[in-house]
């Protein structure tokens, strides 16, 4: 059993966040902590002018609310929204906060990331802790 499980959450249609939370609940040790983490990617400089004012703050509030709903019935769970590059931020957060397992969903890949999604592949290859990948 694990003491601190990190569950990166993506709200893309092909990612099953509830299944990731369910797996984490089964693997957590009594008294352990589950952290749901969503990484908001930076908007590229060339696209900033096309994004409506206040969009970022509104999106962050909506994501925080969705994550909070996901953890409300999970004992010892918390939800966080951070900014950065998904793969690197997940890895850094796990290492800095002592996660001993990452439960990450992977989409059905295309040729460029044939076996795993690109974020999941980066996490699997570079994590300093165990990683459980869901398809």
Taking the domains of the chain in order of start, what are their residue ranges?
A: 2-134
2-134: CATH homologous superfamily? HUPs (3.40.50.620)
Q: Are 30 and 73 in contact, with CB atoms under 8 Å apart?
A: no
Q: Are 63 and 8 in contact, with CB atoms under 8 Å apart?
A: no
Residue pLDDT, tens place only, 12-39: 765 678 899 999 999 999 999 999 999 9
Start-to-end CA distance of the chain, whole Å, equals 21
* Cα–Cα distance, 38 to 25 (Å, whole number): 18
Question: How far is residue 123 CA from its own chain's centroid?
Answer: 11
* Cα–Cα distance, 3 to 99 (Å, whole number): 8
Residue pLDDT, tens place only, 45-98: 888 888 898 988 999 999 999 999 999 989 989 999 999 999 999 999 999 999
* Per-residue tokens: 128: 């300093």
> pTM of the prediction?
0.89
């Amino acid at each position: 059993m694990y003491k601190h499980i990190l569950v990166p959450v993506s709200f893309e249609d092909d990612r099953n966040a509830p299944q990731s939370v369910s797996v984490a609940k089964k693997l957590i040790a009594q008294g352990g902590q589950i952290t749901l983490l969503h990484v908001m990617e930076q908007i590229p400089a060339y696209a900033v002018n096309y994004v409506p004012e206040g969009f970022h703050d509104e999106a962050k509030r909506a994501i925080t609310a969705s994550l909070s709903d996901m953890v409300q019935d999970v004992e010892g769970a918390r939800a966080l929204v951070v900014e950065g590059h998904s793969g690197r931020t997940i890895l850094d957060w796990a290492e800095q906060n002592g996660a001993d397992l990452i439960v990450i969903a992977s989409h059905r890949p295309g040729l460029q990331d044939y076996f795993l999604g690109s974020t999941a592949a980066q996490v699997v290859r570079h994590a300093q802790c165990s990683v459980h990948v869901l398809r």
